[in-house]
Amino acid sequence: MVTSKRIPILSIAIFAASFLVASPSWAEFCAPKIVSPEPEAVTSTTPTIQATAESGSNCNPNAKRVKLEITHVENNNTVYTYEKTRGEGLFTGRGYTTGMLLLDHSVPSGELVEGEKYKVYVEYPNPSFPASFDEHAGCCWITIKTSDAKTRQSAQRAQHTIVISGRNTSGSTGYTISGGGDLEQVSGTLDGRQVSIQGNDTVDGNLAQGQVGGAADGFRVFGKMPGILLNEPGNADIYVDGQPFYTIVISGRDTQGGTDYTISGGGRLEQVSGRLDAKDVSIQANDNVSGNRAQGHVAGAADGFRVYGERPQISLDQPANADIYVNGELQ
């Protein structure tokens, strides 16, 4: 007589789960994604190429090998290749992880030429076929241009740089830059930040308008510092010449009398006469500005300041008698 042996259902379930975890090949391939530089960026001749894997709920970024190839756009000749073996890849045994850099490589000097356009390719072999790279399994590429003497000269002639960086967490904002020197929009890296040019960005002389969400727009200013107006001030940060930048308007309410004010403890202050954040501001004889400290008095009019650096403290002797605006936003 043969006695059958029953296997507990729980044991079968554990076995099945462990099989799936140990066998990642059933998941679809995560395509490469170049995250830096951005497409059409103007870079140095030694750019740093960074790539990750496209995120997906059912894909496997276990790229144990990574291949970088740079070709010349005009003649399609390959000018530089780089291949790396990553060891264990990103598969953790408990799921799939995307967003980590699979490639972070700086192209050595002498490989790329100034003022030329290149295609940058990144490939990962499909984990199901690790022996070879398969372009059709998710190769990606972007076009970049290396800076030349004219581009560098343009940067050297600029009196100011402006970066408007969206915070993304609270939505987007439109912006207007006007009233200063001529503007040149930049794609690539500006003051250490990634900036790009979108289809809805417009630049005409000393006027620029656009929109930022999670990315950033950058400009060079050839002439005096312009005004920068954000439609939704809480949704973006402004940087001028690589430093945080703020505008401050202290507007007297007039009906309740005036107030003295003190601004201190932040970046360098520059008082403005004319228009600032769509408000009329003026400089009076009793206004005193020195470095990062300003003192004055407002009643029915308004005083305005640009701040180059950290945000300062603002105190009013009679808080009920004036409104304070920072980057156009009522405080």
What are the pLDDT digits (tens) for 2-17?
444 444 444 444 444 4
The average pLDDT across 187-194 equals 83
- Predicted confidence at residue 119, as pLDDT, reads 92
The average confidence (pLDDT) of the chain is 79
In this prediction, what percent of the chain has a pLDDT beyond 90?
Answer: 21
The residue ranking higher by pLDDT, 31 or 326, is 326
List Cα–Cα distances, 331 to 12, 33, 170, 306, in angstroms: 63, 41, 18, 16
Pairing of strands 42-43, 140-146: parallel
Does pLDDT of 51 surpass 80?
A: yes
Q: What distance in Å separates the CA atoms of residue 24 and residue 13, rounded to the nearest whole number?
A: 18
- The CA angle 266-267-268, to the nearest 5 degrees, is 130
- Predicted confidence at residue 164, as pLDDT, reads 93
- pTM reported for the whole predicted model: 0.55
The average pLDDT across 149-171 equals 79
**How does residue 134 score in pLDDT terms, banded at 50, 70 and 90?**
low
- Predicted confidence at residue 209, as pLDDT, reads 94
**How does residue 132 score in pLDDT terms, banded at 50, 70 and 90?**
low
- Predicted confidence at residue 5, as pLDDT, reads 46
List beta partners, residue 202: 209
**How does residue 208 score in pLDDT terms, banded at 50, 70 and 90?**
very high
218-267 pLDDT per residue, tens: 998 988 888 888 888 888 889 998 889 999 999 988 767 889 999 998 88
Does pLDDT of 325 surpass 90?
A: yes
Residue with tokens 């967490």: 169
72-124 pLDDT per residue, tens: 998 889 999 998 876 554 443 344 455 567 788 889 888 998 888 899 998 87
Q: What distance in Å separates the CA atoms of residue 83 and residue 268, rounded to the nearest whole number?
A: 48
Other C-beta atoms lying within 10 Å of the C-beta of residue 258? 17
**How does residue 26 score in pLDDT terms, banded at 50, 70 and 90?**
very low
Q: What distance in Å separates the CA atoms of residue 226 and residue 206, rounded to the nearest whole number?
A: 8
Amino acid at 252: G
Indicate the range of 145-159, 176-190, 294-308 predicted with least confidence. 145-159
Q: What distance in Å separates the CA atoms of residue 79 and residue 121, rounded to the nearest whole number?
A: 12
